[in-house]
Structure 1
Amino acid sequence: MTQYLPPNLLALFAPRDPIPYLPPTEKLPHEKTQGTYTGVSQYLNLFEDPKDTPPPTRVETREERIERKRREKAEQVAYKLEQDIALWSIHSAVVRQY
């Protein structure tokens, strides 16, 4: 069917130039020499002794943090309520009402 197309449309279906060959930049994986593996025993003396390390610090969990904040908020509300009760007088409440 494409043979009946006009030349301007037929040019759209023309094959491109072949891709030029480039030699590989490095050796193939099976041709590469693998590095030799060594142990870590030569580096063990660089580690610190577990006896000398300080004990890990304990971090509060999410539930503990939520409970602590709830407790602090309740203490603040109770303190504010105490202060408001101490400052309250019946005369000032009656005057504000009228």
Structure 2
Amino acid sequence: MATVSWRSLDERVRIPSKWVTLIGEKWLTDTGETLEYWRVEKADSVIVLPLQGDYFICLPPTFRVGVQRAAVDFPGGQVLPNTPPGQWCRKF
């Protein structure tokens, strides 16, 4: 298997917020092409799937800007760093 060696040229922008950091970078590929690369860094998160017997409890679909259509939305949130799943998820 060939080794791909890309090289970071520059971090163009870093936009931090409480929930996510958006990072724009410039990379040089192994073929000499210069690319813009965007990535996010974020904390771990959890999606909650509410159950009643054998059924999921779902609210009616809501319009979601990111996907430009109505979609089912489940409750969720961030997970505290270094917290084992058993401490933030349990069955009642």
Instruction: Give me the TM-score of the superposition, normalised by structure 2.
Output: 0.15
Greater strand share, structure number: 2
TM-score by length of 1: 0.14
Structure in which a larger fraction of residues adopt helix: 1
In our comparison, the structure showing a higher alpha carbon Rg is 1
